[in-house]
Amino acid sequence: MNATIVSGRKQPLVYRLPVISHFRKSVGLQRGMLVTGLVLTIFFLLTTVLAPFIAPYGYSQLSDASGTFPAQQAPGGNHILGTTVGGYDVFSRVIWGSQTAVIVIVVAVAMSIFLGVALGLVSGYFGGWLDRILVVIADAIYAFPSLLLAIVMSIVINRGQSSFWGGIVACSFAISVVFVPQYFRVIRAETIRLKAEPFVESAKVVGASSVRIMGRHIFKNATRTLPLIFTLNASEAILTLAGLGFLGFGIEPSSAAEWGFDLNKAMADASSGIWWTGVFPGMAIVLTVLGLTLVGESMNDLNDPRLRGRKRAGGKVPAGSPGPTQAAPGAEASAESRMP
């Protein structure tokens, strides 16, 4: 009956997924940043999944059929990235370390996201004394240095030293204590904004219950920024984990590979010219965090129409201005060539 219906349809689900929709919107430099971040992140995730196939040795392996591994061997031969002072294979530990990192991210963010979102919705929607108490608690947690908090948690949970899951849980718990207030804050702010929107009031006047309003009307509209916080938090989680490991509150080398722990052990090596034990775990941390941060930051920019670069409008350009065929790297280009 009406031909325009088709053109007004929603785009297929794939194109509405967070990262994909951002990629389609991006242009120029912003796309470059996003792609770099995505490549690094995907590389990191692939390493995690394929670790058993890539790593030549186990994370706690000290010997193989040909005998015990030599300590502090320079890169080359059987050990492409050399071995540590304890005789571990650096390459294997770097690869296995990515697995620990991903598990900690997933557990930490999962714990904090559910609690944070739920508390944020309830606190923002109902307000009153509950809201005030929760905000004070969140502020109090903010006031703590996160690493200190993580150390305390780690000590409380397993006296500082631990098995694989003990360490993971301690770490994740410590991280999520720091992250819950972030999710809480963001969702609470969105909820308070949305609470005054006419569509929420219109649900109120038709008699919808509070649970229905929160679940159906506010929740869906309040979660747009979550993918962004998720990526930024993921990189922060890795840093906290590495920090804990570096300070000696991480996971024992016999239970799992952990980049921060390796860095700690590599400290003494650095002064005696043994660079490979520190550089490679360090690079792994830097690249992973860089990848996640790039993804997060570009999503942040692309979410905001004012920060988002666009292709230049129109084929018709006033005389004297650079033609539209020139690559327009995002906002910068359109800014300078706007007024010819």
Residues within the interface to another protein (CB under 8 A): 1-2, 5, 8-10, 25, 197-199, 201-209, 212, 216-217, 220-221, 305, 310-314, 316-318, 320, 331, 334-335, 338-340
User: Cβ of residue 311: shortest distance to another protein, in angstroms?
Assistant: 6
CB of 286 to another protein, least distance (A): 34
Q: How far is CA 142 from CA 1, 148, 179, 182, 239, in A?
A: 58, 12, 9, 9, 17
Name the phi and psi angles at 274, rounded to 5. Answer: -95, 90
Residue 19 or 85 with smaller CB distance to another protein: 19
How far, in Å, CA of 300 to CA of 73, rounded?
44
**Based on CB atoms, which residue is closest to another protein, 5 or 327?**
5
Integer Cα distance of 287 and 44 in angstroms: 9
Beta carbon of residue 200, minimum distance to another protein (angstroms, whole number): 8
Per DSSP, which regions of the chain are E strands?
63-64, 67-68
Minimum Å gap between C-beta 202 and another protein is: 5
For another protein, give the closer residue by CB, 208 or 279.
208
Nearer to another protein, 52 or 340 (CB): 340
Give the contacts of 318 (CB within 8 A, at least 6 positions apart): 340
Closest distance of CB 4 from another protein, Å: 9
What is d(CA 190, CA 184) in angstroms, rounded to the nearest whole number?
Answer: 10
Q: Judged by CB, which is closer to another protein: 75, or 127? A: 127
State phi, psi for 119 to the nearest 5 degrees.
-65, -40
Closest CA to 88 of 230, 223, 239, 258: 258
From its phi and psi, is residue 256 left (phi > 0), alpha (psi between -120 and 50) or beta?
Answer: beta
Smallest distance from another protein to CB 263, Å: 44
Nearest to another protein of 200, 289 (CB atom): 200
